[in-house]
Amino acid sequence: MSYVRDAWYVAGWSSEFDDSLKRVVILEQPVVMYRATNGSMAALEDQCPHRLLPLSKGKRIGDDIQCGYHGMTFNCEGRCVRVPGQDNIPASAFVKSYAVHEKHNIVFVWMGDSRDANTDDIFDLPQFHSDQWHAHQGDALHLKANYLNVAENLVDPAHVSFVHPTTLGNSASENVPVHVDTEGEVLVAWRWIRDAPPVGFFQKFGGFEGNVDRWHYYYLHLPCTAVIDFGSADTSRQLPEELRDEGVRIFALHFLTPVNEHYTIDRWMHLRNAAVGDEAASEQMDAMFRVAFNEDKEILEAIDEQEQLAQNRKPIRLAIDKGPTVYRKRISAMITQAE
Amino acid sequence: MSYVRDAWYVAGWSSEFDDSLKRVVILEQPVVMYRATNGSMAALEDQCPHRLLPLSKGKRIGDDIQCGYHGMTFNCEGRCVRVPGQDNIPASAFVKSYAVHEKHNIVFVWMGDSRDANTDDIFDLPQFHSDQWHAHQGDALHLKANYLNVAENLVDPAHVSFVHPTTLGNSASENVPVHVDTEGEVLVAWRWIRDAPPVGFFQKFGGFEGNVDRWHYYYLHLPCTAVIDFGSADTSRQLPEELRDEGVRIFALHFLTPVNEHYTIDRWMHLRNAAVGDEAASEQMDAMFRVAFNEDKEILEAIDEQEQLAQNRKPIRLAIDKGPTVYRKRISAMITQAE
Amino acid sequence: MSYVRDAWYVAGWSSEFDDSLKRVVILEQPVVMYRATNGSMAALEDQCPHRLLPLSKGKRIGDDIQCGYHGMTFNCEGRCVRVPGQDNIPASAFVKSYAVHEKHNIVFVWMGDSRDANTDDIFDLPQFHSDQWHAHQGDALHLKANYLNVAENLVDPAHVSFVHPTTLGNSASENVPVHVDTEGEVLVAWRWIRDAPPVGFFQKFGGFEGNVDRWHYYYLHLPCTAVIDFGSADTSRQLPEELRDEGVRIFALHFLTPVNEHYTIDRWMHLRNAAVGDEAASEQMDAMFRVAFNEDKEILEAIDEQEQLAQNRKPIRLAIDKGPTVYRKRISAMITQAE
């Protein structure tokens, strides 16, 4: 099992961090994170190089961390600044320091060599910067599942008819083929379901009276960020693809953080062009998302358990699998290239 | 670790199954079982060949099962009848279908190739068909133990004196030698304890006033079914072996279902020639059996834990081990022969 | 992972044993222990050589143990004295018998060949025999940690400043160098902190008003016994090293019992030259020791978890590590020598 290390991963919402020492595990690497006195984030390898005690078990001394076992002290850059009981500091007395950056109230960590980190590469969307759009942070969904399985679920419009029949999908979409574009850096899978009753989500939030045209666009930014652009408009409007902003349009964002081979955190939030500024609507949408994402969780955790049983044949591949298949190949190539 | 696949195993009592999808695991194979609309049982491999989601997480569409992830649908024979979003159905879109048969209100599954299944081979006893005998289903005893250890306990009359001193055995039998016949298809181990006080079970159910002649016959039908024929009669009657029906006679039946290397389900029931039709007596006997079988469980689970520790010498074998030793050899030969 | 087998290990305080069968696991070996009718301790391999049932699941027959499965019976020396159902007793029908000895109300077991056991080698201190000193047994601290990590904590005076700041250490000692003597059979690491405020322990028990001279001597008797000689005296007295008995002096004793690679029991007690005969003081000291030793437990268990993660560089070694480093080398040599 390997991971793409040269990438920005989400360690948490900004609100999850303060001056206390917080241990997070990303790509099987323990990281201790905290805010320095000037409010900026620090991220260090969470293990003292002496006896291996997690530094998160120690305490803050100003902006430094003092190990809780023998008092070795490291600054924000991971350099040892004190070894109690001796004057010289060994050259090997350091811990890895991670590049860390906050954007849109989200804390991103670069899991590769910090010298290769470029904050320009951090995920962004124009809608984050528009006052026509409302951004709202949801929860962290913890899944006992491999991140590849979680991610492929996020470039897979076909599952919503069956997994989310009361919220994000309904039977009208069951047989509608999926389009896939894997040419660019971002994988896209999408389909339109035209002239059908609105799904549960838009029954509740759209105010539609008759049939709607509904779209689902799944954008997968490798390795681990997904944007699901979904929305509806009255069928009578015959809305073309490029005018989706004129309908009720929602971007569900998923930031996947692989913890280990069988554990992934999915931090989800949304952006919307409706009910801007209405926090009660945000809460209601979160409630509906929670129902839907827990349906995904049940599926993905059952698959993880099943995959651990001995298998005597290869899984079959269907037409709807093009997005997931290309995704896995790309990840595999990124890991191989980095080695 | 291997199992005898070409055999009928018990999946449950008939009363455990209805039209809902029930996952059972037998010989490490997950199987989804349900009643079709005509009441007959269906048993399929419990794993979609696409993304490996257990089909038991899906739903019934008539007599078919629709996978809960992308809606692939399989009929009772395991053949895929629908792939949403595409017209052609790949040749590899099938799941294994298991032969399944109900008899005496017990559901049996053939774990090998269903074309080799012959319902004539399913366990039977003449007493199931006699109105002089009363049949009563007990419980499913779940043991964290290997099925070979559980089975050898069921061809081992010697343990009852020590494991079940208040119910099925007493000290009178401690030194009585065991007879063993391993010539036929069914292994038999037995002994008579003549002219001794009745054991707890027959104190309660026999109505005996003085000493009794008591017998224990252990019949082990390979691979996993045991019949324990035990009973008592007044010593004054000098009951010969072939007239056991004239005493109070009970057949304790054990159907072992190996789940995995360290987990076995023992479904137990009994047949008796006394208190026919008396369900209160059935319940009282179950209560006593529960005491006894939990004593076995404690022993067998302790042994399973102990066996997992490193061992530096071979276990010793005693005279009483002939039945168990032949049993293990036969199972081993059956597995080898099938490979 | 290996252990030093030719050594006396503590199985428990004398008060933990009576005529019932008690299973203890030492160096991954299960041992059943009990008092014979004359009060002396017996210790046998806790596994019947027939079906591997732990003998501790059986019952006492006089001074013998009868196995709970088929009644094989073993005497205190591990020799089989009865096989129910047969007259001859196989030569292989025995279990290992361990040498066991009580001293100072502590039960010691020799884990090697009992013929090599010499009770003169059992740990002792002159203070156990002096009426100027008070001995008091504490608790058994169960740690999910390897015994080598636990032991090195006990030849490591440097950690007390950081791990036990409210009880056994304070900041005055942070930079005081540690002396180490590894010439003799017993490893010693020590330091004096002169003219500093008393630590929490001696604030409570010393009755000191001003600054004190404080000492910590860590004696590690290989493989698994530690004596921590710590105490304080008024700084005005300028107490020399050899007159520590004139101060308030406490010996904290730790008897480590390795259970397996990730589990160690630390039975701790103390001897003191103050408050002799005062059991209320004993209880108060135990309360303070519990606080301190749970601080060690938290550190050592976090390290054990961390060590199980993949490591990509060697731990660094500091000046304070001389004692632990020599300890590990000595243990390794003892194990190699025994092979």
Per-residue pLDDT of chain B (339 residues; tens, 9 = 90+): 589 999 999 999 999 999 999 999 999 999 999 999 999 999 999 999 999 999 999 999 999 999 999 999 999 999 999 999 899 999 999 999 999 999 999 999 999 999 999 999 999 999 999 999 999 999 999 999 999 999 999 999 999 999 998 888 888 888 888 899 999 999 999 999 999 999 988 988 888 989 999 999 999 999 999 999 999 999 999 999 999 999 999 999 999 999 999 999 999 999 999 999 999 999 999 999 999 999 999 999 999 999 999 998 899 999 899 999 999 999 999 999 988
- Angle at CA C252, nearest 5°, toward C249 and C257? 165
Higher-confidence position of C38 and B173 = C38
What pLDDT is recorded for position B28? Answer: 96
For residues C293-319, give the mean pLDDT.
95
Q: Find the radius of gyration of the CA atoms of chain B.
A: 22
Q: With contacts defined as CB-CB under 8 Å, which chain B residues touch A311?
A: 52
Strand order in the sheet with A179-181: A134-143, A263-272, A248-260, A225-234, A212-221, A186-196, A179-181
Strand partners, B97: B44
Q: How confident is the model at residue A1 (pLDDT cuts 50, 70, 90)?
A: low
d(CA A310, CA A299): 19
Chain C interface includes A66 (CB < 8 A)? yes
Domain with CATH 3.90.380.10 in chain A: 125-338
Chain A interface includes C308 (CB < 8 A)? no
HSE (side-chain half, CA atoms, 13 Å) at A272: 24
Residue C37, phi-psi category: left (phi > 0), alpha (psi -120 to 50), beta (remainder): alpha
B129-338 has CATH 3.90.380.10 classification: yes
Residue of chain A whose alpha carbon sits nearest to that of B67: A162
Q: Which of B52, B54, B86 is facing A318, going by the closest CB pair?
A: B86
What pLDDT is recorded for position B135? Answer: 97
Is the Cβ pair C302, A53 closer than 8 Å? yes
Q: Exposed/middle/buried for C243, CB within 10 Å: 0-12, 13-18, 19+?
A: exposed
Over the stretch A51-99, which tens digit does the pLDDT of each residue have?
A: 999 999 999 999 999 999 999 999 999 999 999 988 899 999 999 999 9
Is the model's pTM score more than 0.90? Answer: yes
Is the Cβ pair B302, C66 closer than 8 Å? no
Chain C interface includes A316 (CB < 8 A)? no
Q: Which of B52, B67, B68 is facing A306, going by the closest CB pair?
A: B52
C126-338 has CATH 3.90.380.10 classification: yes
Is the Cβ pair B69, A299 closer than 8 Å? yes
Q: Is the pLDDT of residue C243 over 70?
A: yes
What pLDDT is recorded for position C1? Answer: 56
Domain with CATH 2.102.10.10 in chain C: 8-120
Q: Where are the alpha helices (DSSP H) in B102-223?
A: 147-153, 160-163, 200-205
Class for the domain spanning C8-120: mainly beta
Structure ipTM: 0.94
Which of these, B68, C179, C41, lies nearest to A299 by C-alpha position?
Answer: B68
For residues A149-153, give the mean pLDDT.
97
Chain A interface includes B73 (CB < 8 A)? no
What pLDDT is recorded for position B307? Answer: 96
Chain C interface includes A165 (CB < 8 A)? no
Over the stretch C143-187, which tens digit does the pLDDT of each residue have?
A: 999 999 999 999 999 999 999 988 888 888 888 888 999 998 999
Which of these, C260, C257, C238, C241, lies nearest to C249 by C-alpha position?
Answer: C241
Q: With contacts defined as CB-CB under 8 Å, which chain C residues touch B145?
A: none
Please name the CATH architecture into which domain A125-338 falls: Alpha-Beta Complex (3.90)
What pLDDT is recorded for position C11? Answer: 98
d(CA B148, CA B338): 18
What pLDDT is recorded for position C171? Answer: 84
Query: What are the φ/ψ torsions at residue B289 (nearest 5 degrees)?
Result: -60, -40
For residues C189-214, give the mean pLDDT.
91
Q: With contacts defined as CB-CB under 8 Å, which chain B residues touch C68?
A: 162-163, 299
Q: How confident is the model at residue A335 (pLDDT cuts 50, 70, 90)?
A: very high
Chains in touch with B (≥3 Cβ pairs < 8 A):
A, C
Q: Is the pLDDT of residue A301 over 90?
A: yes
Chain C interface includes A52 (CB < 8 A)? yes
